[in-house]
Structure 1
Amino acid sequence: MRIVSSLPSIVAALVFVAACSAAAPEPVMGGSPPPPPPPAPPPAAAIPTEKPADAAPPDATGKTAEPAPATSAMATPAPTPVPSAEPSACPPDMQLVEGEYCTEVEHKCKKSWFDKSNKKTVCEEFEPTSKCVGKKVKKRYCVDTYEWPNQKGVRPEVMNRFHQAQIKCASVGKRMCTESEWNFACEGPEMKPFPHGYVRDAAKCNGDHLWDDPNMKKVAARDGDELARLWKGVPSGSQPNCISAFGVADMPANTDEVVASEQPKGSRHALYDSVHTGGPWYKGVRNQCRPKVYTHDEDFYYYFLSFRCCAEADGKATDPRTPWQIRDKWTVQKVEKRAGFTIAEMQKKLDQKKQGQCTCAAHDILCKTMCGTLLGPGAVDAKH
């Protein structure tokens, strides 16, 4: 089997219906005290504050309220992270990613199987070679070592909508990672299909858990007990063999991640700014570096969906807006409105978390989303 991996060429949009208890693990589009926050990288760039007349978003719904979720073998040695030649290029909680990124990579599958529930062929082992059949683009940027809140030993935070994740990144002087940035940080300079090599291993990157029929009404209500029941993740940094050559941890499997689109306007995958990557902890899903899902809008959130942040290297100012938002002349205020909270309000919550005082009323969903405390206390980490 010959597999060519590129941003527009691999899409795993899978059908999910909330009313169906036998749904596939990956949904389609829809709509512990907290530790201190990580140190902030360089300050963000100055962003226009007046709303331009032509500021038309990719999703022009104008929604600001919290929406409902989707309805709908050979072991490979653990990679040795490449040490940064310039430790000051990135903050201590981030890794420098630098080199030539290939826009389209060819991998040949040696061993695969078909998952009926997702109607997806899963490659278990690739030929140990990667061929660049696209263009090479020079890149140099910083990426969080772990998923938000980017701290070793802390569970990756889930249940954020796209713009909420974006404002959280902006609150620490960072931005959302793009598709290609996530790819490069995961696959490394050798363009591996998995961060640890060419053989899929769910014991290295937490995966292959059985589908557990989420109660979608409870997920929509952010029911802490239901979110705890569904939790099959592991804390950040607890997978020593799930580390890329650039030293970035926990990228495929465990929690899925959301990144910013780089699809050209008018292309068949240019639906939303929100793109999903990595794949969740379930069996029979896309747990590789390159495959993407392009069918979730910016208001989508889910119990296994997380994110991490990126920033410019070498102390350069970081614009918190996405490539699409820059193209369409969005302001940060417009992003804040979509998120439901501002950068300043999020920074206040981070200060409260640092003091162990980020507490919320029982039904204050927005507060719990900002504090990252939606997951009920009954959650048990997966064993791997």
Structure 2
Amino acid sequence: MRPPHPPHPRALRPLSLARSMAVAAGVAALGLTVLGLPSPRPAAAARKGCPAGMASVRGEFCIDRFEASTVELLPGGGKRRHSPFEPVGKLKVKALSRRGVKPQAYISRNQAEAACQNAGKRLCTDEEWVTACKGKRATVFPYGRERERKACNDSGVSSFNRYFGQGGEAPLSAFTWANMNDARLNQLEGTLAPTGSFRRCKSSFGVHDMVGNLHEWTSAARGTFRGGYYLDSARHGDGCDYKTTAHATGYHDYSTGFRCCK
């Protein structure tokens, strides 16, 4: 589109600042300039849809591109990195969406909800989570209709058996609160992966790791987490349909994580 011819100087009338900005904003949407005010860069305009680190799902809501990591919020406004291998406990933490970091495990639904709120976000609803996972074609897996081996981090090693199995599968007596929250479990090679490591494990909305890696809490009133984790993404439904409702909202272990919506 060719810019319009500028009016003759005698036709110009002084504009108030508010009116000038309003006119500039309207014309900028057409990629033009007015009164010497430059139009915004396209990339800057695109970012206005969702905050950094989030993806837009059909223009209806935003969702974190990556499983959440956390930072502790200190009294007085300071921040301190929180280990993804340690429970959150009573700490005040804020959710972050970042590529290439180990996401926060050992977190309950209630703690995850608070972390999202501290980031100006919220936990995703079940419907939002499934929609973002299945992508634009509503497939069972983020990458397609059929399971692809090693496309997502869902066939790792069992660190729990390694530490508590005494050479084999861990007995039921080993599944204690302390053991299930042992800080060593997600640090063994072949377990939890940094966010975005599995490049095929991405939905067409640009959201990573929604199958495998960590279970992800949703906002369901009854404790619900989805997607499976690095040892299983099929036992309670395949891929994006994986759903566990066996635990209360205060439950957490080495496999439970989250991401936020807005």
Q: How much has 1:86 moved relative to structure 2?
A: 4.2
Change (3 A) 1:250 1:221: closer
- Is the contact between residue 231 and residue 304 of structure 1 (CA under 8 Å) also seen in structure 2? no
The percent of aligned pairs where both chains have the same amino acid is 30
Match of 1:169 in 2: 116
Match of 1:90 in 2: 50
- Is the contact between residue 66 and residue 209 of structure 2 (CA under 8 Å) also seen in structure 1? yes
Change (3 A) 1:90 1:233: same
Give the structure with higher Rg (CA).
2
Match of 1:184 in 2: 131
- Is the contact between residue 55 and residue 65 of structure 2 (CA under 8 Å) also seen in structure 1? yes
TM-score, normalised with respect to structure 1: 0.43
Change (3 A) 1:142 1:210: same
Q: Greater relative contact order (Cα 8 A, min sep 6): structure 1 or 2? A: 1
Match of 1:318 in 2: none
Distance in 2 between the 1:183 and 1:196 partners? 14
Given the alignment, which residue of 77, 97, 100 partners 1:153? 100
Question: Number of matched residues?
Answer: 178
Alignment of structure 1 residues 367-382 onto 2, 5 Å:
none
| Structure 1 counterpart SS, 2:154 | coil
- Is the contact between residue 146 and residue 308 of structure 1 (CA under 8 Å) also seen in structure 2? yes
Given the alignment, which residue of 191, 194, 214 partners 1:232? 191
Change (3 A) 1:94 1:249: same
| Structure 2 counterpart SS, 1:166 | helix
For the pair 1:279 / 2:228, whether they are aligned, the reply is yes
Match of 2:151 in 1: 204
For the pair 1:292 / 2:243, whether they are aligned, the reply is yes
Distance in 1 between the 2:259 and 2:223 partners? 13
Match of 1:47 in 2: none
Alignment of structure 1 residues 1-384 onto 2, 5 Å:
86-98=46-58, 140-149=60-69, 150-211=97-158, 212-213=160-161, 215-217=174-176, 219-220=178-179, 222-226=181-185, 228-229=187-188, 232-261=191-220, 272-283=221-232, 285=235, 286-311=237-262
| Structure 2 counterpart SS, 1:142 | strand
- Is the contact between residue 278 and residue 290 of structure 1 (CA under 8 Å) also seen in structure 2? yes
Q: Deviations over 1:98-137 (max 9, x none)?
A: 17xxxxxxxxxxxxxxxxxxxxxxxxxxxxxxxxxxxxxx
Change (3 A) 1:300 1:194: same
- Is the contact between residue 258 and residue 307 of structure 1 (CA under 8 Å) also seen in structure 2? yes
Q: How much has 1:95 moved relative to structure 2?
A: 0.2
Distance in 2 between the 1:293 and 1:154 partners? 25
Q: Deviations over 1:260-305 (max 9, x none)?
A: 12xxxxxxxxxx5321100111145345112312221111101011
Distance in 2 between the 1:226 and 1:152 partners? 21
- Is there any run of 5+ residues in structure 2 with no aligned partner, and where? 1-42, 70-96, 165-173
Change (3 A) 1:87 1:221: closer
Q: CA RMSD in A?
A: 2.4
Distance in 2 between the 1:305 and 1:195 partners? 20
TM-score, normalised with respect to structure 2: 0.62
Match of 2:81 in 1: none
Match of 1:129 in 2: none
Distance in 2 between the 1:290 and 1:251 partners? 11
Q: How much has 1:202 moved relative to structure 2?
A: 3.4
Q: How much has 1:231 moved relative to structure 2?
A: 7.1
Change (3 A) 1:227 1:204: closer
